[in-house]
Amino acid sequence: MPRTAIRVTPLAATLAVAAIAPAAAPAAKAPAVTAPSVKTGLSGSLTPQSATLTGTVDPNGASTRYWFEYGTTSKLGKRTDTATVGGTDPLAATRGVTGLRSATTYHYRLAARNKKGTRRGAIRTFKTKVQPLGFSVAANPAGFGFGDATVIAGTLGGTGSTGRQVQLQANPWPYAGYQDVGNVQLTSGEGAFAFPILGQSINTRYRVRTTGKDPVLSAEVQTAVAPAVNTVASDRSVRRGTSVRFSGKLRPAKVGATIYVEREVRAGVWRRSAETATVASEDQAYTRFSARVKVNKTSRYRVRVVVADQSLGITEGTPIRIRATRR
């Protein structure tokens, strides 16, 4: 019996292969996007005014913003800035908070939001560190004239600084030691205080201390009292080469204080023309001085006072203009 040839077309071959090829597996289905999952973590890096808050947030497949809510009660009331995360795995969440009160308990929780909703973690607490007490003190003004007033003022900072008793202490020249002066004051709600000083007559150092056990001391504040000097010129207009007598009084009385008579050689620049010292007077309230200067040109003159023992500050008298003529 004759054989019959069978011709296989390309299309038939393709169909045959397709018939025996296994079917492709169905594509994996993406997980459903849900609201974020959050867990409030521990606090750390505690200082008197700051803390770092931590937690865990799972975005559950959507772009998610998270933040921390905090406050001094369980009602919270404040919140940190936000951060954005994404993905399907739990991620660490952390934000810092500042401007806190020292030695204070704070409540906080983690919160997060995506397009499917908002979730909040459990409320936890932390307590800020105690802030040691410390002073900031200054004299205003620090330098002033004999008999004038000043104020020693400042603030007490730290835990328990408000409504605290503080005492001013003074150590006048020659600086033999501090003694309490005036009455005790209570600091304000901001820890502020101010001690007025009336009619100071000598250089004095001040400091402020807290009262009670283990007092806290401020740094020293130095004040300088400039003596009062009165100057008189024997003439205001003289011929060139004539001597003019400068005399006056110094208060408080200080025997041996150096008196310089100075001439202004150009604006703001003074050159010494004569030197003398104060001597006692019949009035114990002041000492007196006298010095002569040869005047060769029209200039301004002044007296400069230096007390060697530094019981008083340096002072200058009011300038006097002396006119020098040719005849």
**Domain 134-226 fold:** Immunoglobulin-like (2.60.40)
Describe the strand order of the beta sheet including 242-251 as a list of residue ranges: 228-233, 242-251, 287-295, 279-280
Q: What is the CATH number of domain 228-325?
A: 2.60.40.10
Q: Which amino acid is at 170?
A: A
67, two tokens: 């933040």
Q: Which CATH number fits domain 37-127: 2.60.40.10, 2.10.240.10, 1.10.760.10, 3.40.50.261?
A: 2.60.40.10
| CATH 2.60.40.10 residue spans of the chain | 37-127, 134-226, 228-325
pLDDT at 326: 84
Identify the three-state secondary structure at position 250: strand
Q: Cα angle at 135 between 129 and 141, to 5 degrees?
A: 155
Residues 320, 12: Cα–Cα separation, whole Å: 127
Residue 150 and residue 128 in contact, taking contact as beta carbons nearer than 8 Å: no
Residue 9 DSSP class: P
Nearest to 233 by CA among 140, 139, 303, 161: 303
Residues 70, 53: Cα–Cα separation, whole Å: 10
Nearest to 212 by CA among 162, 165, 178: 165
What are the CA-CA distances from residue 279 to residues 133, 234, 258 (Å)?
Answer: 49, 19, 10
Phi, psi of 19, deg, nearest 5: -70, -30
Q: Are strands 78-79 and 64-71 parallel, antiparallel or unpaired?
A: antiparallel
Tens place of pLDDT for every residue, the chain, 327 residues?
Answer: 454 454 545 544 444 444 455 555 566 566 789 999 999 999 999 999 999 999 999 999 999 999 999 999 999 999 999 999 999 999 999 999 999 999 999 999 999 999 999 999 999 999 999 999 999 999 999 999 999 999 999 999 999 999 999 999 999 999 999 999 999 999 999 999 999 999 899 999 999 999 998 999 999 999 999 999 999 999 999 999 999 999 999 999 999 999 999 999 999 999 999 999 999 999 999 999 999 999 999 999 999 999 999 999 999 999 999 999 987
82, two tokens: 């936000």
pLDDT at 13: 45
The pLDDT tens digits for 169-195 are: 999 999 999 999 999 999 999 999 999
